[in-house]
């Protein structure tokens, strides 16, 4: 069995040390780290990976695409895949800034307590990299998702992108002032994906979420994104509503790490995987059935 080589392609000048440590912990024997990767310079790196090992040995080579610019990383992933041909390919994982694994973990957490198909959900900070993916994954699971933003235009753009990616998606843009408050009041699931350290929903507004069964706040930097949730909450009962369970960023973080590590492991099982948010959600769901 050849050694498992992971090529880390990062759009930032300095490739992420976080992603490097996870890769090693997840079983990569050799990690080749590249920073400053772009669609313009990645094809040569891919050719170096696919022209060295042949046949079944290619499954022991894989690519991780990351970086803090999620759109740039998506473009790199697309160029990586375009450089493959026939059997000359290796498996690829896209998880820039942890956006895909974090969104998948949030949806897995919510789905422990609420059947997502047909349920009403609100994604606060729904225009950021994580929020966009939470909205897309909720739509894929059949939830009716309100995408919240300070800008109706930005939220509308995200809804259009989700509808384009998920045929039949039921999504709507909401903004503070009226539509957000109404959406929160009727939602079963609320996910806070606002910027770090930004309070999006104060504690009194959370109490107005009388239908809520699960609230997830992904912000780990004080103050809380959603009032009344602390970072370590993991299915913690809300003091003000005995039917409501709370998750904080660290409460979801363990699931995120499991998904990230398991996804790296999957890369080495075959040579034709391209793992994005949807595939990470499926991995998260499979871990729920095997681990719990």
Ligand X SMILES: NC(=O)c1ccc[n+]([C@@H]2O[C@H](COP(=O)([O-])OP(=O)(O)OC[C@H]3O[C@@H](n4cnc5c(N)ncnc54)[C@H](OP(=O)(O)O)[C@@H]3O)[C@@H](O)[C@H]2O)c1
Q: What is the token pair recorded at 82? A: 């375009």
CA distance 51 to 55: 10
Residue of 188, 219, 241, 255 interacting with ligand X (CB under 6 A):
219
- 213 is a contact residue toward ligand X (CB under 6 A): no
Residue of 15, 96, 253, 284 interacting with ligand X (CB under 6 A):
253
For residue 26, the Cα-to-chain-centroid distance in whole angstroms is 18
For residue 115, the Cα-to-chain-centroid distance in whole angstroms is 19
Q: What residues have CB less than 8 Å from 167, skipping those under 6 apart?
A: none
- 234 is a contact residue toward ligand X (CB under 6 A): no
Q: Which is nearer to ligand X, 56 or 202 (CB)?
A: 202
Q: Near ligand X by CB under 6 A, which window of 11-19, 96-104, 166-174, 178-186?
A: 96-104
Place of tokens 């769901």: 285
Task: Enumerate the H helices of the chain as residue ranges.
Answer: 17-25, 42-50, 70-83, 99-111, 129-140, 152-165, 179-186, 203-207, 249-267, 277-291
- 127 is a contact residue toward ligand X (CB under 6 A): yes
Q: Which is nearer to ligand X, 81 or 198 (CB)?
A: 198
Q: Near ligand X by CB under 6 A, which window of 37-45, 108-116, 166-174, 190-198?
A: 190-198
- 102 is a contact residue toward ligand X (CB under 6 A): yes
Of 85, 76, 108, the closest CA to residue 258 belongs to: 108
Residue of 129, 135, 228, 284 interacting with ligand X (CB under 6 A):
129
Question: How near is the Cβ of 35 to ligand X at its closest, in Å?
Answer: 20
Residue of 66, 128, 173, 228 interacting with ligand X (CB under 6 A):
128
- 249 is a contact residue toward ligand X (CB under 6 A): yes
In terms of Cβ atoms closer than 10 Å to its own Cβ (0-12, 13-18, 19+), residue 117 is exposed
- 146 is a contact residue toward ligand X (CB under 6 A): no
State the residue number with the nearest CB to ligand X.
128
CB 35 within 8 A of CB 243: no
Residue of 26, 252, 263, 277 interacting with ligand X (CB under 6 A):
252
Helix (H, G, I), strand (E, B) or coil at 127: coil
Q: Near ligand X by CB under 6 A, which window of 3-11, 16-24, 54-62, 146-154?
A: 146-154
What residues numbered 36-95 form the site for ligand X, per CB under 6 A?
none
Q: What residues have CB less than 8 Å from 182, skipping those under 6 apart?
A: 174
CB 230 within 8 A of CB 204: no
Residue of 193, 214, 216, 263 interacting with ligand X (CB under 6 A):
193
- 162 is a contact residue toward ligand X (CB under 6 A): no
Q: Near ligand X by CB under 6 A, which window of 3-11, 15-23, 124-132, 183-191?
A: 124-132
CA distance 215 to 116: 13
Chain residues binding ligand X by CB under 6 A are 97-98, 102, 125, 127-131, 149-151, 154, 193-196, 198, 200, 218-220, 249, 252-253, 256
């Amino acid at each position: 069995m050849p050694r498992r080589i992971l090529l880390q392609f990062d759009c930032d000048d300095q490739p992420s040390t976080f992603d490097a440590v996870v890769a090693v912990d997840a079983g990569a024997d050799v990690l080749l780290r590249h920073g400053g990767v772009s669609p313009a310079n990645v094809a040569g790196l891919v050719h170096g990976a696919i022209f060295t090992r042949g046949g079944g040995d290619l499954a022991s080579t894989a690519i991780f695409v990351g970086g803090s610019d999620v759109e740039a990383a998506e473009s790199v992933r697309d160029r990586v895949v375009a450089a493959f041909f026939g059997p000359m390919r290796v498996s690829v994982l896209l998880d820039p800034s942890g956006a895909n694994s974090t969104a998948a973990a949030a949806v897995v957490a919510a789905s422990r307590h609420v059947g997502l198909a047909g349920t009403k959900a609100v994604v606060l900070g729904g225009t950021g990299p994580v929020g966009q993916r939470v909205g897309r994954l909720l739509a894929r699971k059949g939830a009716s998702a309100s995408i919240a933003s300070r800008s109706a235009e930005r939220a509308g753009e995200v809804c259009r992108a989700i509808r384009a990616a998920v045929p039949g998606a039921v999504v709507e843009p909401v903004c503070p002032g009226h539509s957000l408050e109404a959406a929160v009041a009727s939602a079963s699931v609320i996910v806070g994906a606002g910027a770090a350290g930004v309070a999006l929903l104060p504690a009194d507004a959370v109490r107005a979420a009388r239908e809520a069964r699960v609230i997830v706040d992904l912000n780990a930097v004080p103050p809380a994104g959603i009032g009344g949730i602390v970072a370590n909450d993991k299915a913690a009962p809300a003091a003000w509503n005995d039917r409501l369970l709370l998750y904080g960023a660290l409460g979801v973080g363990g699931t995120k790490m499991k998904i990230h590590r398991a996804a790296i492991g999957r890369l080495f099982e075959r040579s034709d995987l391209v793992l994005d948010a949807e595939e990470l959600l499926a991995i998260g769901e499979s871990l729920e059935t095997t681990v719990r």
